[in-house]
Amino acid sequence: MRTEAVRLRLTDAASFTVLTEHFRSQAETCHQMARITVNPFKQGWLEFAAEWTKLAQETEAKAEIDREHSNSLHSD
Residue type, position 45, single letter: W
Q: Which of 28, 15, 22, 27 is nearest to 62 (CA)?
A: 15
Half-sphere exposure of 55 (CA within 13 A, CB side): 19
In sign, the C-alpha dihedral spanning 13, 16, 22, 26 is: negative
Lowest-pLDDT choice from 9-13, 39-43, 63-67: 9-13
Under the banding of pLDDT at 50, 70 and 90, the label for residue 66 is confident
